[in-house]
Amino acid sequence: MTAHNGHSEQERIGVYVCHCGSNIAGTIDVEDVARWAADKLNRRGVVIARDYKFMCSSLGQELIEKDIRELGLTRVVVAACSPHLHEQTFRVACRRAGLNPYLCELVSIREQASWVHTDKKAATEKAKAILSGGVERVIHHQPLEPLHVPIHPATLVVGGGIAGIQAALEIADAGFHVYLVEREPSIGGHMAQFDKTFPTMDCAACILTPRMVSVGTHPNITLLTWSEVVDVQGYVGNFTVTVNKKARYVKEELCTGCGICQEKCPKKVLDETFEAGLGYRKAVYTPFPQAVPKFPVIDRPNCTFFQKGTCRACEKLCPTGAIDFNQQDERLTLQVGNIILATGFDILDARRIAQYGYGRLANVFTSLEFERLSNAAGPTNGQIVLRDGVTQPKTVGIIHCAGSRDRNFNNYCSAICCMQSLKFAHLVRERTGATVYNFYIDIRTTAKAYDEFYQRVLDEGAILIRGRVAEVTDAARLPGEDGKLIIQVEDTLAGKQRRIPVDMVVLSVALEPRHDAKEVAKQFGISCSSDGWIIEKHPKLDPVATMTEGVFVAGCAQGPKDIPTSVAQGAASSARVLARIQQKEIALEPVRASVDESKCSGCRICNGLCPFNAILFHEDRMVTEINPALCQGCGTCVAACPAGAISGTVFSNEQVLAQIEGLLLQPLGALEEPVPV
């Protein structure tokens, strides 16, 4: 109640109370609130207070615009719904009438009063308090202009799975440069490991490899495989990214991808990544024949030359002399304007589900192992066989939700397992004619043509049993169980316990965030949910943006999803990036902190508080400065500054303190009488 007395005498404030049909007016006496504002708040600068049926309608907005023009309003307060709905509406209306949009304040008397309270009198009094808070606050608003930042036209895409491939191609096709960084030797991601894709059963390689080739040959794409991002600096429009390009020990400019090195390499290595531990590769390898790029890498820890100093078979036999054992890791510095993270998922380590026996019982497989078994280019050439490599199973049990929808592992639904398990059932029926049991909790086949596929698999004779499997065991108790895996399950439709002997068990294991998702998120200045998936800006309305401007997310990094949705997100994120590139600059909300250097004592308390590295300290002048493009406006440094040298626009100390006073009706001399409720 100190500084703003002088202020309010100069301001001419318009107050607008919305009925929202009966949404507000049904509980709150809006006419009373408007009358009260005109009467009691006029000494705080309110020159006009109106109520109107729908303030957000064009007529309601025109009412405000007319008053701004005719009454010379300098501030506007609208008491209506949540600012998350209509703040923009009223700001734009103010701008149309020539008032700086940031001189408008929207206070919520619907979500915070009429919808949550039943006592009409109390709700009306609370609405007055909320309005008073808005009026006191708006007095301290400043006219602001959005911050304009130029956008560098190049884009970084991290992760070369189908989502990243889609994003990279869309941007490159639009004529802008893309750096696609992939940790593995080839792009393709998980999709490259699959044989068939549901529900149409297209061959994954047939639809994926043309895309991969396009990426590899596109003039606008710089493909950096066997590479990882190690550092990210800067802000939207102007990121500096450092990439570590690991040594391949193969000169890309000389290698023709003929494959002789792989053929001649004497060292066989169990392929834990691409073949999911079912097959072998060489110490010099490409993960699969259609790999993009075609250049192999030498796996240094497994290479005989690197470990023992002898061999050099690949070097001797390479027809173009492309092997280079002296190659070093290379650090590349990239300038980009936007970043798309498409880092994908890991699968749950099935050994964690001890009762399903994976790792202990030989013929329990994970879904990824089954994908490789059924893949024509896989370790068994597409033969669905037991771990011995020859025996075809006569009965197969497929367990859905292994580690999903389970409090012991992951609460969430992994989204793809139902369809994936049905696909497995189809493949087993088609290739082996074996009896197939699917054990499910619910069948979730919600996308286009999914339920039809489910019906098809039922018609093909798959047996579906509703119930969560309790245990998979090899301890035979009943006749016919010897040498089998026995699935113990409560069949909740039949209402009884069953023991079903099978030859092979496939676990549809949960999709989980990448093991290093949290570190990656931190590197890019974004956050993960408690599950570990990257948090999108808005779960419905902004699903591919993140809270950090210029950083987008696509595919399973944001949560489990199928191929069509990953592709859609890849395309969506590229559309967002392209829009920015086309605009050449971006206007950022001016919610920013700034330092008054004359007040800054150089104590550096704020320096360690910013997770966005927006705070710089000038050693020479002993003052702190905040980079407005990096600042996200959280205000933590403002709250910490002991000298009050840091101020936050839109949420300054003056604004918040005035709003507190207003909410408690203090400027109206409420202290003389008890605060009404």
Query: Which residues bind to another protein, rule: CB under 8 A?
Result: 82-84, 108, 110-113, 115-119, 122-123, 125-126, 129-130, 133, 522, 525-530, 535, 547, 591, 609, 611-612, 632-636, 638-640, 648, 650-651, 653, 656-657, 659-661, 663-666, 670-671, 675, 677
Residue 166 beta carbon to another protein: minimum distance, rounded to whole angstroms = 27
Q: Which residues contact 621 (CB under 8 A, 6 or more apart)?
A: 597
Residue 209 beta carbon to another protein: minimum distance, rounded to whole angstroms = 39
Residue 661 beta carbon to another protein: minimum distance, rounded to whole angstroms = 6
Instruction: Considering the complex, state which of residue 113 and residue 283 has its C-beta at the smaller distance from another protein.
Output: 113
Surface-to-core class of residue 590, CB atoms within 10 Å of its CB (0-12 exposed, 13-18 middle, 19+ buried): middle
258 vs 262: CA distance, rounded Å = 9
Residue 239 beta carbon to another protein: minimum distance, rounded to whole angstroms = 17
Instruction: Considering the complex, state which of residue 85 and residue 254 has its C-beta at the smaller distance from another protein.
Output: 85
Residue 643 beta carbon to another protein: minimum distance, rounded to whole angstroms = 13
- Cis status of the peptide bond prior to 101, with omega within 30 of 0: no
Lookup result for tokens 């592992």: 409
610 vs 601: CA distance, rounded Å = 18
Instruction: Considering the complex, state which of residue 96 and residue 117 has its C-beta at the smaller distance from another protein.
Output: 117
Residue pair 415/556 in contact (Cβ under 8 Å)? The answer is no
Instruction: Considering the complex, state which of residue 460 and residue 531 has its C-beta at the smaller distance from another protein.
Output: 531
Q: Which residues contact 210 (CB under 8 A, 6 or more apart)?
A: none
Instruction: Considering the complex, state which of residue 67 and residue 661 has its C-beta at the smaller distance from another protein.
Output: 661
Residue 46 beta carbon to another protein: minimum distance, rounded to whole angstroms = 19
Q: Which residues contact 399 (CB under 8 A, 6 or more apart)?
A: 356, 421, 439, 469, 472, 487, 505, 506, 507, 508
Residue 206 beta carbon to another protein: minimum distance, rounded to whole angstroms = 41
Instruction: Considering the complex, state which of residue 117 and residue 294 has its C-beta at the smaller distance from another protein.
Output: 117
- The alpha-helical segments, DSSP class H, found in 483-609 are 517-523, 563-583
- The alpha-helical segments, DSSP class H, found in 97-152 are 120-139
Q: Measured at the alpha carbon of residue 478, what is the angle toward residues 476 and 482, in degrees to the nearest 5? A: 40
Radius of gyration in angstroms for the set of CA atoms belonging to the chain, rounded to a whole number: 32
Nearest to 420 by CA among 371, 458, 470, 468: 371
Distances (CA, A) of 350 to 369, 441, 511: 11, 18, 11
341: its two tokens: 């993270």
Instruction: Considering the complex, state which of residue 353 and residue 534 has its C-beta at the smaller distance from another protein.
Output: 534
Q: Which residues contact 600 (CB under 8 A, 6 or more apart)?
A: 623, 624, 643, 645, 646
Q: Which residues contact 549 (CB under 8 A, 6 or more apart)?
A: 235, 236, 586, 588, 632
Surface-to-core class of residue 134, CB atoms within 10 Å of its CB (0-12 exposed, 13-18 middle, 19+ buried): buried
Instruction: Considering the complex, state which of residue 622 and residue 660 has its C-beta at the smaller distance from another protein.
Output: 660
19 vs 52: CA distance, rounded Å = 6
243 vs 296: CA distance, rounded Å = 20
Instruction: Considering the complex, state which of residue 119 and residue 231 has its C-beta at the smaller distance from another protein.
Output: 119
Residue 629 beta carbon to another protein: minimum distance, rounded to whole angstroms = 16
Residue 650 beta carbon to another protein: minimum distance, rounded to whole angstroms = 8
Phi, psi of 14 (to 5 degrees): -105, 135
Residue 390 beta carbon to another protein: minimum distance, rounded to whole angstroms = 49
Instruction: Considering the complex, state which of residue 336 and residue 646 has its C-beta at the smaller distance from another protein.
Output: 646
Residue 669 beta carbon to another protein: minimum distance, rounded to whole angstroms = 12
Surface-to-core class of residue 354, CB atoms within 10 Å of its CB (0-12 exposed, 13-18 middle, 19+ buried): exposed
Instruction: Considering the complex, state which of residue 197 and residue 659 has its C-beta at the smaller distance from another protein.
Output: 659
Phi, psi of 50 (to 5 degrees): -125, 155
Residue 17 beta carbon to another protein: minimum distance, rounded to whole angstroms = 17
Residue pair 114/26 in contact (Cβ under 8 Å)? The answer is yes
Residue 86 beta carbon to another protein: minimum distance, rounded to whole angstroms = 12
Lookup result for tokens 């948090």: 535
Query: Can you tell me whether residue 471 is helix, strand or coil?
Result: strand
Strand partners, 341: 158, 553
Residue 113 beta carbon to another protein: minimum distance, rounded to whole angstroms = 7
640 vs 593: CA distance, rounded Å = 12
Instruction: Considering the complex, state which of residue 363 and residue 546 has its C-beta at the smaller distance from another protein.
Output: 546
